[in-house]
Amino acid sequence: MLSPTLREGLQRYSIGEKLRALRLRKKIGLVELGRHTELSPALLSKIERGKLFPTLPTLLRIAMVFSVGLEFFFSDDRKRRLLAIVRRKERQRFPEKPGLGEVAFHFECLDFPVVERKLNAYYAEFQPLAPAQVRLHQHPGIEFIYLLSGKLGLRIGEDENSLEKGDAIYFDSSFAHGYRRIGNSACAALVVTTP
């Protein structure tokens, strides 16, 4: 029997709720999970409802089925920052690369407080450059750009593209790419990349 202090301390981690969320996400019933873990569906149900706290070996059996580590169950959701609001006044503006004379763009990170990001979101303002001045870069993943204002020149590999306000582009960012503002009007975009 657990003391009230230990019970309260363990309840803070919501192990049962996390287990249930994992199980439902994978669309696995208690009986099927029991077959994978060699634990009874009744025991798994008690864990999910917070009526029973599993031992570490029991929890490890469950974690292995879902390909997560034990830390998944012991992380504090309040510290994981599952929800983050970034106020405009809190954002900082950075150049494309520090120390460059002429930069192609300045950006502001829109999701900096989030610890376990599934994507990266930026607000970018582009500067005018001659086509020959466009610096190419590449990174793993995918990039998505939605143009908020102006006209943007975008080079991906050998291809030249241009976007106007309201246009969007999705591309494999492992190909070398670079940007430049076309014309004198301000040019800004929402840029999303995968980490």
Residue 77 CA neighbour count, 13 Å, CB half? 10
User: Confidence class of residue 147 from pLDDT cuts 50, 70 and 90?
Assistant: very high
Token couple for 22: 């994992």
* CATH classification code of 88-193: 2.60.120.10
CA distance 72 to 76: 9
User: Confidence class of residue 30 from pLDDT cuts 50, 70 and 90?
Assistant: very high
Domain 4-80 sits in CATH 1.10.260.40 = yes
CA distance 165 to 168: 9
Cut 0.85: pTM above it: no
- Percent of the chain surpassing pLDDT 70: 95
CATH 2.60.120.10, the chain: domain bounds:
88-193
Q: For residues 168, 174, 180 and 185, what is the CA-based torsion angle, rounded to 10 degrees?
A: 20
Closest CA to 38 of 67, 15, 10, 60: 60
CATH 1.10.260.40, the chain: domain bounds:
4-80
Higher pLDDT among residues 26 and 175, named by residue = 175
- At 92-103, the pLDDT tens digits run 888 887 777 778
